[in-house]
Amino acid sequence: MSLIGWDLGSAKCGWAAGAGDTVPVASGFRLDPITPAEIGDLGSQFTDRVMAVHKRFPKATHWISERPLLVPTDHRFTLEQLMGLSFLLATLGRRLGKTVKLVENGEAKMALAGRHASKDDMVRMAEHLGVKLPVQKVDGREDAADAVGVWLVGIRLYARQHLTRWDQAIYSNRGGLL
């Protein structure tokens, strides 16, 4: 079994893929800015990028993503984008025969770096596990690190035989982040 963890955003998305017995591969991709009239273009760009990841990891049987994080100050357009990407990811996954799981917000952060972890903490812990992240923030460095957290949630749910390895690596270095 192999998993892909996804971190979705309206400008950048991250992904982490692997079976759990080795360090996952992680990266990110950017989405071109759009206007509200171009929402279909966002879906098309997103589909193309998701399908490129799928072609790279066709044996991934499970796709895991956090539910969109929506806050009261979000504008309607932001809500449409985030909800749309989440829906589209789930639809694509199901059509490709994947098990798709949307997990609660905060689970990825808790799995990798602790409840109150910052983006820097997520990056540091992903690198501590040996994950090679994009070098630049603009290329999805933080999004890829968040996707590693989502991937770890998938390991906890679907590949528990590999959990001890990752828990030992994480908890041996988390210290004050708990």
Tens digits of per-residue pLDDT, 101-154? 999 989 999 999 998 999 999 999 999 999 999 999 999 999 999 999 999 999
Contacts of 150 (CB under 8 A, 6+ apart): 5, 6, 7, 16, 64, 65, 66, 103, 107, 108, 111
pLDDT of residue 177: 46
3-177, superfamily in CATH?
Answer: Ribonuclease H-like superfamily/Ribonuclease H (3.30.420.10)
Residue 87's pLDDT is: 95
Record the pTM: 0.92
Burial letters for 16-33: b for 16+ Cβ neighbours within 10 Å, e otherwise? bbbbbeebbbbbbbebee
How many residues are recorded in the chain? 178
Q: Is the pLDDT of residue 90 over 90?
A: yes
Per-residue pLDDT averaged across 82-87, rounded? 92
